[in-house]
């Protein structure tokens, strides 16, 4: 492949032309779930994402006009990692003497026991940018966790490619308690699709920071088996553009907490979408997204709570609060509730506000100067 | 001590308080007046609330306040206890106070703070609660007084500190206020209509606000006369 530069908006056309002949598009893999023959993905390749209602508030034109430079550039050196995920490869840190190796199995396409077929049912196309990750990554990868573990997973580009794609499976064994710290590091564009399977009675705590990635699209599917717990704590403050999309499927007696705290400056664009589907009884969920916007930054939030008819006795709450520090900053919020049963407790509250002058004055009256007062207000606003 | 001269307060160009000449020396002073006459406006205008335009002179121990911003007035030793304290979500009572103490350069410890919480009968863990968010009216008022005691200002103005307080709390309040005012060079200006509190505080003067003006009386019997007969007196 010769080196060339193109806008991200041409990516689909290039893929349709067979730009990347990855391991998934080969004939011998067509019986696999990831078989990505161009015909099968025709719909995705022909979709005009800019016109998709799902993306209407996400400033997609900013991502689409970003430049992809295929010339070899300096790779993103990541020294401080435990597990590194990079375009179809997954590896442990070479100097690692870490007990968690006993409880975490990493697998990729070249692993003969990769068991990818087990995840077939979870991989439904939803006509979003994440679908393109299947077509451009070398192969899916995954980790299977069989112990109570607290570890770090870093997503970065090692292949000196300016468009890095990953499809990742994270499978938590029944009854295990896992804490994952996820970092995303990329100077260019990164598309990531992650499936988290939280099996019966297990718990997953996810601490995610995508501040070190420039253009970053992350689509996360969380499948919570009965009696499981999921807790996400997502933060963003730097980076040019980010999309953090969560689809959470919650079955019987599950608990799901989604917190996102973002502090945006300059012309950063941060877009959060959380879709929680309550399929089982007695489950509980909280979506709590707060963003502070300065400069010409932009934030969009879209929250959906869907409760099916048989999911009785569900408690679901959605909050989105935005604090504007500058007149040029823009926040858009869109809460949606789709409740199909009466036996539920469901609420939402979405606000966009400036710094309250009365609060500022109260702090001033206690000796805080304006800068200290604003800092204190922001700190309080972002607290959980 | 706090002195005002030709002190005039306006809101959107309309005069609310006109040409006030008041002198609050060391000790306790009570401020009274009919509803809506501008007592709270007076307190907030002294504190430098940007809602109000002010003219004239205000001094604390000879230092001019008029050219100072609100936070600088606080740092110069002025404190105002709000009638309706502002809630701030996510900022704990102690965090708030710790920063305020730092900005005022006055050292006071967590143990002193806890002693005060206990004296005012505030629940355990109150220091970790968000400022004025889930507190009752009475708890908010107690909290304002605790802030004053911790910050140890030269001049404190308390805007109806008794409203919402039960009998026991009034006793603690008057005891603490008297203790504060008995220190050297401390001035306490209390806006109140509560006879029991006035009796307990034995103020140095009574200031009556009426018709945009204010008049100071050294004879505190005027307070009892008003409480009995209303504000029909001339100011």
Question: B135-171 pLDDT, tens per residue?
Answer: 899 999 999 999 999 999 999 999 999 988 988 999 9
B147 touching A, CB under 8 A? Answer: yes
Q: Can you give the pLDDT at residue A179?
A: 98
Angle at B43 between CA B177 and CA B144, to 5 degrees: 45
Place of tokens 């968690």: A100
Question: Comparing C-alpha atoms, which of B111, B139, B108, B138 is closest to residue B126?
Answer: B139
Which CATH code fits B2-229?
Answer: 3.40.50.300
Average pLDDT on B32-39 reads: 94
Judged by CB atoms closer than 8 Å, whether chains meet at B130 and A366 is answered as no
Confidence (pLDDT) at B59:
96
Query: In chain A, what residues touch B94 (CB-CB under 8 Å)?
Result: none
Q: Mark residue A300 as left, alpha or beta (left: phi above 0; alpha: psi -120 to 50; beta: remaining).
A: beta
User: How many Å apart are CA A29 and CA A25, to the nearest integer?
Assistant: 7
**pLDDT at residue A88 in the model:** 77
pLDDT at A29: 43
Say whether A366 and B103 touch across the interface (CB within 8 A).
yes
Domain ranges within chain A, ordered by starting residue: 5-357
Question: In sequence order, which residues have a C-beta less than 8 Å from that of residue A307 and are 6 or more positions away?
Answer: A278, A314, A316, A338, A339, A340, A341, A344, A346
**Taking a contact as any Cβ pair under 8 Å apart, which residues of chain A between 109 and 128 contact chain B?**
none
Q: What is the ipTM of this complex?
A: 0.95
Rounded Cα distance, B79 and A210, in Å: 44
**Dihedral-angle region of residue A225 (phi above 0 means left; psi in -120 to 50 means alpha; beta otherwise):** beta
What pLDDT was estimated at residue A38?
62
Residue B84 sits at the chain A interface (C-beta within 8 Å): no
CA dihedral A26, A27, A30, A32 (to 10 degrees): -60
The pLDDT of residue A30 is: 42
Mean pLDDT score across all residues of chain A? 89
Which of B70, B88, B151 lies nearest to residue A364, judging by beta carbons?
B70
Give the mean pLDDT of B205-232: 92
Q: What is the mean pLDDT of residues B192-212?
A: 94
Distance from CA of B4 to the nearest CA of A (A): 19
What does the block give as tokens for B104?
A: 């005022």
Q: What is the pLDDT of residues B85-99, one digit of tens each?
A: 999 989 999 889 888
A357 CB neighbours in chain B (<8 A) are 50
Size of interface A-B (CB pairs under 8 A): 70
* Ramachandran angles phi, psi of B119, nearest 5°: -60, -40
Beta strands B213-217 and B205-210 are antiparallel
The pLDDT, as a whole number, for residue B100 is 84
Nearest Cα residue to A91 out of A158, A33, A184: A158
Q: Is B100 on the interface with A (CB under 8 A)?
A: yes
Band the pLDDT of B32: cuts 50, 70, 90: very high
Helices and strands (H and E) in chain B: how many: 8, 12
> What is the band of B203 on the pLDDT scale with cuts at 50, 70, 90?
very high
Q: Which regions in chain A score pLDDT beneath 70?
A: 1-2, 19-40, 72-76, 158-161
Q: How far apart are CA A210 and CA A262, in angstroms?
A: 10
Is some CB atom of chain B closer than 8 A to the CB atom of A373? yes
Q: What percent of chain B has pLDDT over 70?
A: 96
User: Which tokens belong to A53?
Assistant: 């209602």
């Amino acid at each position: 492949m010769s080196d060339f530069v193109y806008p991200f908006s041409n990516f689909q056309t290039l893929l349709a032309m067979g730009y990347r002949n990855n391991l998934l598009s080969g004939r011998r893999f067509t019986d696999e779930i990831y078989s990505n023959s161009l015909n099968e993905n025709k719909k995705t390749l022909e979709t005009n994402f800019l016109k998709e209602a799902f993306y209407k508030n996400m400033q997609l034109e900013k991502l689409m006009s970003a430049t992809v430079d295929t010339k070899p550039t300096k790779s993103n050196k990541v020294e401080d990692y435990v597990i590194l995920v990079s375009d179809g490869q997954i590896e442990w840190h070479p100097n690692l003497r870490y007990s968690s190796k006993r409880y975490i199995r990493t697998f990729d396409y070249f692993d003969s026991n990769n068991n990818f077929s087990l995840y077939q049912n979870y991989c439904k196309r939803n006509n979003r940018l994440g679908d393109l990750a299947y077509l451009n990554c070398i192969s899916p990868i995954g980790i299977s966790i069989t112990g109570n573990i607290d570890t770090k997973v870093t997503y970065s580009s090692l292949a000196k490619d300016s468009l890095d794609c990953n499809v990742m499976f994270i499978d938590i064994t029944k009854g295990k308690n896992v804490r994952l710290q996820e970092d995303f590091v990329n100077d260019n564009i990164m598309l990531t699709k992650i499936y988290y399977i939280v099996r019966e009675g297990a718990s997953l705590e996810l601490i995610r920071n995508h501040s070190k990635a420039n253009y970053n699209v992350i689509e996360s599917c969380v499948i919570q088996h009965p009696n499981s717990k999921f807790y996400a704590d997502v933060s963003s403050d730097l980076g040019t553009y980010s999309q953090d999309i969560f689809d959470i499927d919650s079955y019987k007696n599950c608990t799901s907490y989604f917190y996102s705290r973002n502090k945006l400056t300059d012309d950063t664009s941060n877009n959060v979408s959380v879709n929680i589907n309550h399929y089982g009884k007695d489950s509980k969920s909280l979506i709590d997204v707060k963003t502070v916007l300065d400069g010409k930054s932009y934030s969009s939030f879209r929250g959906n709570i869907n409760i099916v008819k048989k999911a009785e006795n569900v408690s679901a709450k959605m909050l989105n609060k935005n604090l504007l520090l500058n007149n040029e900053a823009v926040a858009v919020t869109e809460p949606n509730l789709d409740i199909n049963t009466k036996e539920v407790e469901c609420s939402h509250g979405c606000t966009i506000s400036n710094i309250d002058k009365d609060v500022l004055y109260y702090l001033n009256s206690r000796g805080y100067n304006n800068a200290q007062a604003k800092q204190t207000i922001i700190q309080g606003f972002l607290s959980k | 001590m706090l002195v005002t001269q030709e002190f005039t307060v306006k809101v959107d160009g309309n005069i609310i308080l006109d040409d006030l000449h008041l002198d609050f020396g060391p000790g306790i002073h009570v401020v009274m007046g009919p509803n809506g006459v501008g007592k709270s406006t007076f307190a907030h205008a002294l504190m430098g609330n940007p809602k109000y335009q002010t003219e004239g002179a205000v001094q604390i121990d000879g230092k001019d306040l008029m050219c100072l911003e609100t936070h600088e007035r606080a740092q110069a030793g002025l404190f105002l206890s709000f009638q309706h304290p502002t809630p701030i979500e996510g900022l704990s009572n102690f965090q708030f106070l710790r920063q305020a103490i730092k900005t005022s350069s006055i050292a006071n410890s967590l143990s002193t703070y806890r002693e005060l919480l206990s004296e005012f009968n505030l629940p355990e863990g109150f220091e970790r609660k968000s400022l004025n968010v889930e507190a009752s009216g009475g708890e908010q008022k107690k909290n304002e007084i605790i802030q004053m005691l911790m910050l140890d200002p030269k001049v404190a103005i308390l805007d109806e500190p008794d409203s919402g307080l039960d009998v026991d709390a009034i006793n603690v309040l008057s005891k603490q206020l008297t203790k504060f005012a008995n220190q050297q060079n401390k001035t306490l200006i209390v806006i109140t209509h509560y006879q029991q509190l006035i009796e307990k505080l034995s103020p140095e003067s009574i200031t009556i606000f009426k018709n945009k003006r204010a008049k100071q009386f050294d004879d505190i019997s005027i307070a009892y006369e008003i409480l009995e007969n209303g504000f029909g007196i001339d100011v």
